Every structure is written in C-alpha cells, then in structure tokens.
Structure 1
Amino acid sequence: MIYLARPKAHSMAHKQTGKVRAGLLVPLCLAMAAPFAWIQGGRPAPEATEPIAPLADAQASDPARVALGESLFNDPRLSHGDRLTCSSCHRLDLGGDDGQARSVAQDGGRLDFNAPTVFNAALDFRLNWRGNFRSFEEQNEAALLDRRLMNTSWEEVLAKLRSDPGYSERFAKLYGAAPARTDVLDALAVFQRSLITPDARFDRYLKGERNAITRDESQGYRLFKAYGCVACHQGVNIGGNLFQKFGIFQDPFAVQKTVTTADLGRFAITGVEADRHVFRVPSLRNVVVTAPYFRDGRTASLGEAVRIMARNQLGRELDPHDADLIVEFLGTLTGRYRGRLLTSAAERPQP
C-alpha cells in the first residue's frame, strides 16, 4: 500500500473546501486498495466498481438549435470589430482549445488563463478554471461583454444579427421573433452541450471490450488509481466535478518571482483565505490533445504535468517508468467528435 501523508494545511481548510477534501478520502482509499488482478492472457478485466464511467453519445434535443448555435459559435460578428469568434480559442477541428499557453486577447496581449477545452464541458459542475460560472448562458454572456474577450455589447450583436436575413429567418422559425439576447445565449448553450466526445478506447474497455487498451495502458490505469489520482479525477468526465487547491503537499507558487491575480484561484472571487490557489479540477478526457497544461499553460509535456501533479498534490516523486505508464493510460482517453478522433495542434501539419 502507498502511504500518503496528510497535508499540514488541512486543518485550516474553509468549511466548504474541507467538505470537498473530506469527500476525497473515500475514493482515495478505494483507489489505494484496488487490487492488481489479472485475467488469463495477461490482460486486466474492468473491475466491478470503477471510479470512472464510460461516456455516452450526446443526445441533441433540437438539431436546428444546435445548428444555429454552431453558426453563432463560428461567427466573428459576435465580437466587436468582427475580430474574434468563440472558435478562435476553442477550435473544434482540434482538441476544443487553441494549443496556446494563453490565448490572445482583443487588445493583443495574453489572457490570464489557458483556454480550457470546450469538449465535454457540459459535464463539468462549474465552468472556467475558477469555476465562477454555473451555466453556459452565464459564461457566454460574460465572454461577449468582456473587454479583453469579445468586447461587444448586446446592441452591437443584435443589430448585426437582425440585419442578416438568414439569421432573422432562423430565429423567427425557432424562437418566434427576431434575434434576442436570451435566444442567442440559448442557441449557443444548446450547441455547446452537444460537444461530447464518446468512443474513447478506454470507454470501450469499460464497456467490456478487453482488447481496447494494451497491457501497459491497463497497468497505467492501475497506477493512476493506486497513487490516488482518481481522488480528483473520476466520474464520467474524469474530473470537472470538484474544487481543489493546487499545491497540497508542495507549494508551486513559492518558487515564482511574482504571484498574479490569476494564480490566486477562487480567492480572487470569494476573498476567503481557504480558497487561495483553489481551482476547478479539469477533466482528463482528451488530455493528450489539449496541451499545454495547467491554468497558465506552464508545460506542453504531459509526462511533466503528471510529475508536477504527483509532487504537488500527492507528495510523491514518481518512478519514471510509472509516470510513463500513467501517460500511456491517459492516451486512451481521446474520444471522437462527429466520428473523427480528436487531434492536437502539434499533430496537424503546418501550412
């Protein structure tokens, strides 16, 4: 059994964060106790109770609204000066992000956070790194009005959409009126909820397809559980369902020359000391194709990201072979969108 010391700061946790961390002890203990059982032929069988669940296909409630939302998602007229689209930072031909450490803002500078993938975001309990939005509608409106993002106003957006006969006809048919604020937000959200990427090899493995992953990948999954990674990365989205402090056992901010407002995490929103450096745990689905990693894109190496997490969150220096095997497992989490396996910016040929 792997021994993990309790973090010194645990007793000082804020009530809400304390409940979250206390809730982690159950999956952590289960993960540490997971047996390394092998079936005949040298391949592991999925265990009766797994901390990760397979992802089902998205069920579009209204294909016409999905299509309208997709048009809006890719339309630069939703930004001031027609400069940006939602897909500028969330490219659907790649991993749902833009492959940059931090995206370019309207003013030409860099945004505060790495753009998280939009794929499977509908499965997260909160949105954005700090979890400051509970719905796509709320998040989208904030992005549209933010001076460093789309930098627009509803007067500007609606005037553009209403002057377009195609949009006017589609909104009238679907919503019974000319384009309006709530309807624009609804169409965008309906489309974003459709961005689910099922059929990862690990999903097929969980459904009983024994040969969907290799022996090394399966061993990597066993290590992923045994080290306790599943304490934060579990469920159908393999994360995205709780908050956690970045730096439980080691403080990664202690070696930084400066600590930015973005580094403060939820503390910048709540002002509660226990929320300092607390972020929403990201999903690990499609993680191989969504580099660079962490809220500031500090590394493009998935192996290095795994070692950073083990050091800061678990208090462990991983054996290099174990780290490699965990990366092998993470490679099985890449799903498909509209039948196409997702790829990263690094995998696409340059023009």
Structure 2
Amino acid sequence: MKRLILLFSLLGLISSCQKETQTIYNQVFESDDPLRPELMKKAQETFQSVTPREYRPNPYEKVELGKMLYFDTRLSKNGNISCNSCHNLDTYGVDNLATSPGDTHELGGRNSPTTLYAYMHKQQFWDGRAKDVEEQAGMPILNPVEHNIPSEEFLVERLKTIPEYVEKFAQVYGEQTHETLTFDHIGDAIGAFERRLNPRSRFDDYLDGDDSKLSALEKEGLTIFMEEGCTTCHSGVALGGGMIQKFGIYEDYWTLTRSEKIDNGLYDITKRESDRYFFKSPSLRNIEKTYPYFHDGSVDSLGNAVQIMAQTQLGKKLDDAKVDKIVAFLKSLTAAPDPKVIAIK
C-alpha cells in the first residue's frame, strides 16, 4: 500500500513538472504576440550575439601581459597616461570627454572611442587607418599628442630595464624569436587583452532566444531601428564598425552637431575628394555609456545623436516617440566589462 502511495506521488510530481515545463515553453516560444517570433528571427538575421563570436585564441600569459601594458603609465614619455586613461574600463572603455588629454596635457583632435568590442571592427580609428587592434595599439604610443614616446627603440629600451617585463615577454614570445621584447610584441600583447573585452548584454541574451530580456518598449525600438534603415551601417555582431561611410549624406553634419571644426575625415589621409567627410561607422554597443558622440564628441545626448543620424544619413526627421523608443532599444546593448578580465592581479 505504501509503495502504491509513493508511486502515485511520484507520478503526480512528474506530471506537475511536465506542466510547469510546458508553461515555460509556451511563454517563451508560443506567445500570443504574433510579432515575437517574427521580430526575433529578423533580429537574428541582422545582428549576431557575442556568444558565437570567437576572439583570436591567445594564451592566458599573453592576455595578462597585455593587461599590464594597458594600465601602465610607463608607456607614455612622462608617465602621465596609460591606454586606460583615454579608454577607461571603469567607464565602458572611454573617458566621456569630447577629446582626451595626452602625456603633455594637449588635447587630441578626435574623440577616443571605446576599446570594448573594438577587435570586432573591420578597421580601427575614425578614419580606418589601422587594420586591427594589434596595429592600432602601437600608434597612439608614438603620437606626440598622445603617449608622446619618441621612438619604438625608446620604449623597448625602457621596458627592458624592468625585470618583470623581460621575464614575461620571454615567457610569451620566447619560442617564436630570440628578440622577445619588441615594439610589435607590445602591440600584439595589448591586442590580445583587448580581444577579451566582449561582455554580454541583454540584447545578446535576446538574440540567443530569450525573448524576456527585452521589454515591449525596447522591442518597439528595435523594430523602428530596423525599419527606418539604421541597420545599413549598424548591423552584425558589433552593430557597426564594419564600414567607412560619409557623415552627412543628406545634410552637412556640422550644421546639426554644431561642431567647432569641420573634420575632413578619411580625406586627410588619401587626399581624394571622394573620401571627404568619410568616417568609420562606430559600434553601438554600450552607446548609452560612451557619450559624447561622433568623431569630435560634439553631442552629449543619445536622443539628439539618433535624430542627427536620421537626418544626415537617412534624410528623415523622426518624431520624438520614435527617437525615445530607439534609445530604449539601444540601452539594451549596455554591458559592463567583466571585472575578472580587467582586474590587475
């Protein structure tokens, strides 16, 4: 008799669990909202979660070496700044300044973009002059307005006087070459660290199938974002960073941004008239936190930036309700860096 009671109890428990599982399944996959599966499918076709995005495999020791270099002020001539000064990982990889002060306190000419997700971009810098984060890492070091290091040899000789660096560079690069502490290896190690700066956002969870991660308002914003044509430049895993585009297709950008200087963009490098006012389309990940916006940091408000982009790039004037909904969606892209990645051990 006791066995029968126990058996029926187990069957009841199993039945209850099955019903609960089915209820959860129905909530996630069989919503009464007809837009749910269609919107998610379209989003998954347009964007990518960070989950399947493989960073270049790098050994732990190289990542740790790159982390040390990223935070080290000795990579500037007078020891006043590090990579983290302009790309502060406590504030989502930026310093929230229009332009950043360098080693001599002189301001740079363009806004410092975030290093989070930067490795996902097709090119680096606003004008795309570096092919990847490894090449990019070395350029500010030699720029007199930024790190102000006089030459590659100057920095290499400085770091060779630090036993810990000599040991770590030998550990990481010793099997590849006899010259382990080189300028190229400095950039390579910093790049290895930056390739780990890819935190997950709620939008990534949504793209991976969890519909509950976006609110109704955010889904409306996502719908508008796609329907209005924003995905022409802001799609893929980074929601941007994939092309060089003219800023001001329908209107001169400076009339709306009220920029103090008219920056020619890519033209300054190529001197081709067809490249005037061309800039890299930035990633929109963490855009809520990486103000001020555009290449010159001329706009503080995310809503204003959305409206300016609609007018300059799409030739549209969006109503306030649409702008607010797009902004709500963009905030779902916010993701803080993993403190285990950025902590200095």
What TM-score, normalized by structure 2, do the two folds share?
Answer: 0.82
Match of 1:134 in 2: 131
**2: CA distance between counterparts of 1:161 and 1:195?**
25
1:95 positional shift: 0.9
Match of 2:227 in 1: 226
Q: Which amino acid aligns with 2:41?
A: E
Structure 2 residue 208 is matched with structure 1 residue 210: no
Larger Rg: 2
1:258 positional shift: 6.3
Matches of residues 29-108 of structure 1 in structure 2 within 5 Å? 39-41=31-33, 44-45=36-37, 46-47=40-41, 50-56=45-51, 60-108=57-105
For residues 257 and 193 of structure 1, do their structure 2 counterparts lie closer, same or farther at Cα, with a shift above 3 Å needed?
A: closer
Per-residue CA shift, 1:149-175, capped at 9, x if unaligned? 111122321222111111111112222
Cα contact 1:42–1:215 (8 A) shared by 2: no
**1: CA distance between counterparts of 2:137 and 2:211?**
41
SS at 1:321's partner residue? Answer: helix
**1: CA distance between counterparts of 2:307 and 2:211?**
28
Match of 2:22 in 1: none
Structure 2 residue 192 is matched with structure 1 residue 190: yes
Match of 1:272 in 2: 272
For residues 178 and 235 of structure 1, do their structure 2 counterparts lie closer, same or farther at Cα, with a shift above 3 Å needed?
A: closer
Per-residue CA shift, 1:311-340, capped at 9, x if unaligned? 111111111011000000000011242268
Cα contact 2:78–2:103 (8 A) shared by 1: no
Cα contact 2:81–2:102 (8 A) shared by 1: no
Question: What is the percentage of aligned positions where both structures have the same residue?
Answer: 36
1:93 positional shift: 1.4
Match of 2:170 in 1: 172
Q: Which amino acid aligns with 1:161?
A: L
Q: Which amino acid aligns with 1:188?
A: I
Matches of residues 105-124 of structure 1 in structure 2 within 5 Å? 105-124=102-121
Per-residue CA shift, 1:213-259, capped at 9, x if unaligned? 10000000000011111111001110100111111111123576864
Q: Which amino acid aligns with 1:110?
A: L
**Please, which moves more after superposition, 50-59 or 317-326?**
50-59
Aligned-residue CA RMSD (Å): 2.2
For residues 65 and 258 of structure 1, do their structure 2 counterparts lie closer, same or farther at Cα, with a shift above 3 Å needed?
A: closer
Structure 2 residue 143 is matched with structure 1 residue 146: yes
1:39 positional shift: 4.7
What TM-score, normalized by structure 1, do the two folds share?
Answer: 0.81
Q: Which amino acid aligns with 1:187?
A: A
Cα contact 2:107–2:145 (8 A) shared by 1: no
Match of 1:181 in 2: 183
**2: CA distance between counterparts of 1:125 and 1:308?**
24
Cα contact 1:162–1:178 (8 A) shared by 2: no
Q: Which amino acid aligns with 1:40?
A: D
For residues 65 and 301 of structure 1, do their structure 2 counterparts lie closer, same or farther at Cα, with a shift above 3 Å needed?
A: same
**2: CA distance between counterparts of 1:254 and 1:89?**
28
SS at 2:90's partner residue? Answer: coil
Q: Which amino acid aligns with 2:46?
A: P
Match of 1:308 in 2: 308
**2: CA distance between counterparts of 1:245 and 1:327?**
23
For residues 52 and 253 of structure 1, do their structure 2 counterparts lie closer, same or farther at Cα, with a shift above 3 Å needed?
A: same
**2: CA distance between counterparts of 1:227 and 1:141?**
38
**2: CA distance between counterparts of 1:113 and 1:140?**
16
Q: Which amino acid aligns with 1:143?
A: P
SS at 1:288's partner residue? Answer: coil
Q: Which runs of 5+ in 1 are unaligned?
A: 1-37, 343-351
1:58 positional shift: 5.8
Q: Which amino acid aligns with 1:135?
A: D
Report which of the two has the higher share of helix: 2
Match of 2:254 in 1: 253
Q: Which amino acid aligns with 2:279?
A: F
Q: Which amino acid aligns with 2:223?
A: R
**2: CA distance between counterparts of 1:337 and 1:142?**
24
SS at 1:195's partner residue? Answer: coil
Cα contact 2:259–2:296 (8 A) shared by 1: no
1:41 positional shift: 4.7
